[in-house]
Structures are given as C-alpha cells and as structure tokens.
Amino acid sequence: MTPRNVTGFSEFLLLGFSEEPELQPLIFGLFLSMYLITVFGNLLIILAIGSGSRLHMPMYFFLSNLSFVDICFTSITIPKMLLNIRTKSQVITYEGCITQVYFLMLFAGLDDLLLTVMAYDRFVAICHPLHYTVIMNPQLCGVLVLVSWVISVLHSLLQTLMVLRLSFCGQLEIPQHFCELNQILQLACSDTFLNDIVIYIAAVLLAGGPLTGIFYSYTKIVSSIRGISSAQGKYKAFSTCASHLSVVSLYYCTSLGVYLSSAATHSSHSSAMASVMYTVVTPMLNPFIYSLRNRDIKRALKAFFRMAAIKHHLP
C-alpha cells in the first residue's frame, strides 16, 4: 500500500476501552466523576494555598503549580473522550491528535520536573534548615518553575515537530482514549528511526535525570534524618516529605506501568488501563494525598470552607 499523508483524510479513531453500547453510560459516568473530582480537588488545593497566609512558602508554591498542571493534564484527554461517548463517535481530527500529543508531553514533563524541584526543596529544608529561607528565596522559586516550563515546552515542541514529518496509511486506529506518542509512531508508514532516537534521548535526560535528582535528594534526606537524636524530631522531619514521596512513587510507578504494558504486551486493553492510571487516577489522587497527610493543608481547607460559608450567609 502506498503511504499517504494523514492530512489527506485528516482523522484518527480513538478506540477507547469498550465498543459495547451497554457499557458506554457506565464508562461515561465513571470518567466524568473522576474528572470532576480531579478538577475540584486540585482547584481546592490551589485556592487553599492562595488564601492561607501560612502556606505562602516554597513547598506550597510548587504544590499549587503541580495542582494546576494536573488539572490541565487531565483536561487534555477526558473532555474529548466524554464528547466521543456522547456523540457515539471515535473520531479525532489530525490537528486535534497532534494538539493532544503536544500538551500531554508538555504537562507530563512539567509534572516530572516539578516533582524534582519539590524534592530539592525538601532536601534544602531538612539538610540545610538554617539557610532554607535564604536559599529558597522567591526569586529562585520563580526561576525553577520558569525553567521547568521552558524545558517542557521545548521538549514537547520537538516531539510534535518530529511527528509532523511522518506519513500515515491504512487504518489509523489508536487503542486508547487519547492520542499517545508511541501509538501514533506505530501507525506511521514512513521511517520512525529518528523519532525513536529522539524519544530515547529525551527519556534519559528528562526522566532519568529528574529521577536521579530525586533519588539523590532523598539519600541525603534519609542520612540527615538518621542523624537526628530524638524520635519526635525524626518523625517531624520525615512527615514533611511523606506526601511528596507518596506522589513521586505513584507518578513513577504508573509511568513505568504504561511503559511496561506497551513494551511487554500486545493487549490494547492492558495498555489502555495502564494509561488510565497514569493520565486520570494519579492527578485525581494527588490532592487527597496532600490534604490527608498534611496538617497545614487541612487547616487551610477548613479555613477556606469556613470563610466561604460566612460569605454565603452574609446579606
């Protein structure tokens, strides 16, 4: 078959999870619920941090950015999936698919880099507590977030431009509820060797690098905690890292699950379920992890709801 550029017919098919008509209302309700929980949960974290003067600290500044990225990350895929279920269509345009790839790469990279920045923040707070306010000043925090954005934008732009050079032919069916980079490359009729090289280099630099930084930070943190004499002091130091460590573990475990499911099995169902854990479940759980394990967040949320109730009852 002669390769044809996808722009000639300009659409992909998102197969999703099930084509059974009786399951579509259940899938729609489930993903709508998870999406609303994700948006409102992360939005509450942002509002609580913004309204709580005690939370105007570097750690919570980074957390509010992470919550914003999680809202955007989920919003790239779920609304389109819900629309397709309601309209009983599996179609996504070529432009829409490329847009999904760009923003998914952007926000996934931001998640990774922000978690690394937060690990560095915890490293400074525990290993250099006397110099924390000097080192983690507002200027440095702003630069760290800005650099994370710039790196993620450039990386996602590079990956997207590499996809634009490809030609496609045959059935353009993606066994996911969104356009995923590796799945698109498998549909290409033109040579993807250069794309694969770029993906592997980016994986080493933008996944291996941050993971190494996180591991190094926690190695130093554990060493510092072991040097604390009192059990109460050790618990207090570790508790400041527990939420972040839980989110890091969840993020990397689900990311690894997506990679292994696509590399070790040809089952589209297994790959789709792994992708759900990565793109939907992880952003949904992050606000629960931080709110349930962090007393300052709990107090800020209670104060926020108290103020909202007072304003509601005022004439």
- pLDDT of 53 > 80? The answer is no
Report pLDDT digits (tens) over 204-240: 998 899 999 999 999 999 999 888 888 887 887 788 7
- pLDDT (0 to 100) of residue 274: 73
Q: What is the DSSP letter of 14?
A: E
**Do residues 63 and 45 lie in contact, with contact meaning Cβ atoms separated by under 8 Å?**
yes
Alpha carbons 244 and 45: distance in angstroms, whole number: 14
Average pLDDT over residues 21-37: 90
Provide DSSP, 61-121. HHHHHHHHHHHHHHHTTHHHHHHHHHHT--EEEHHHHHHHHHHHHHHHHHHHHHHHHHHHH
CB distance 73 to 156 below 8 Å: no
What is the reported pLDDT for 1? Answer: 38
The larger pLDDT score, comparing residue 294 to residue 14, is at 14
| Domains (range + CATH), the chain | 6-313 (1.20.1070.10)
Q: Across residues 297-313, what is the average pLDDT?
A: 74
Rama region for 309: left / alpha / beta (φ>0; ψ in -120 to 50; rest):
alpha
At which residue do the structure tokens 């489930």 appear?
Answer: 30
The confidence band for 2, taking pLDDT boundaries of 50, 70 and 90, is very low
The mean pLDDT of 22-29, rounded to a whole number, is: 88
pLDDT at 4: 43
Question: In this model, does residue 173 exceed pLDDT 70?
Answer: yes
How many Å apart are CA 251 and CA 149, to the nearest integer? 19
Confidence of residue 145 (pLDDT cuts 50, 70, 90): very high
Comparing 256 with 132, the larger pLDDT belongs to 132
Per-residue model confidence (pLDDT) at position 233: 79
Averaged pLDDT for residues 243-266? 75
> What does the pLDDT read at residue 155?
96
Contact between 185 and 172 under an 8 Å Cβ cutoff? The reply is: no
Mean pLDDT of the chain: 86
61-94 tens-digit pLDDT: 999 999 999 999 999 999 999 998 898 888 999 9
Q: Which residues of 119-150 are buried (b: 16+ CB within 10 A; e: fewer)?
A: bbbbbbbbbeeeebeeebeeeebeebbeebbe
pLDDT of residue 281: 87
